[in-house]
Structure 1
Amino acid sequence: MAHADVPEVLGALRDVDFPADKDQLLTAARTAGASDEVVKALRGIPPEEYTSREDVARSVRVDPDSDLGHTAAQRAEQAREGGEPGLSQHLRDAPKTPIQEELED
């Protein structure tokens, strides 16, 4: 399942004049040709007035490690290996790919 990331959501809102409410944000995103994932992310924000793009960024729910650049395989290995008790999966150490290991040598 694909997820929108914060830069993608904010990119769809670059022409919005703030303050703006949720309906205005959704309309602006659709007008800008935003992906279905971006529209879904904006549908999930609370129905209130937003004063800036930063307010929107704090309210949008995205995949926890969408900004970490981990591959699906790395996320799966994070889940399998576990970690310290209470440590969120997306905060666990991600294994390096063979190419990353070779480049470090």
Structure 2
Amino acid sequence: MAHATLDDVLGALRNVDFPADKTELLEAARSAGAADEVLSALRGIPPETYTNREEIARSIRTDPDTDLGLSPAQRAEQARQGGKPGLSQHLREVPKPPIEEELDR
């Protein structure tokens, strides 16, 4: 699944008059012809009134793996292991594969 970048989201909102709430941000992005990934990222922000683009940038989670520092092998292991019901895959703990441990030495 493709994820929107922060630049994509903020680019779709370049003509927004602030302050703006979540509904106004979604409408502005739709009228600017934003991609579905951008609209999905905006749907995920808290329903608050935003006074500038920096507040939006702090609220947007564009890719669940971006701030976790996991390798593709670790993400694959998370998917194989499963987890507790209700626990998002990207929050499951997973050890580094042996080859990555060896390369870190």
TM-score interval (norm. to shorter): 0.5 to 0.7
Match of 1:58 in 2: 58
Unmatched 5+ residue regions in structure 2?
A: 78-94
Unmatched 5+ residue regions in structure 1?
A: 67-74, 84-91, 96-105
Does residue 24 of the first structure (1) align with residue 38 of the second (2)? no
Q: Size of the alignment, in residue pairs?
A: 79
Moved over 3 A (4+): 77-81
Does residue 4 of the first structure (1) align with residue 18 of the second (2)? no
Q: Deviations over 1:65-103 (max 9, x none)?
A: 39xxxxxxxx425657828xxxxxxxx9xx9xxxxxxxx
Relative to the length of structure 2, the TM-score reads 0.64
* Aligned pairs for 1:1-105 within 5 A: 1-63=1-63, 64-65=65-66, 75-77=71-73, 79=75, 82=96
User: 2 CA distance for matches of 1:59 and 1:32?
Assistant: 20
Relative to the length of structure 1, the TM-score reads 0.64
- Which one-letter code corresponds to 1:82 in the other structure? K
Identity %: 60
RMSD: 2.7
Q: Secondary structure at the match of 2:54?
A: helix
Shift of 1:45: 0.4
- Which one-letter code corresponds to 1:65 in the other structure? T
Shift of 1:5: 1.1
- Which one-letter code corresponds to 1:38 in the other structure? V
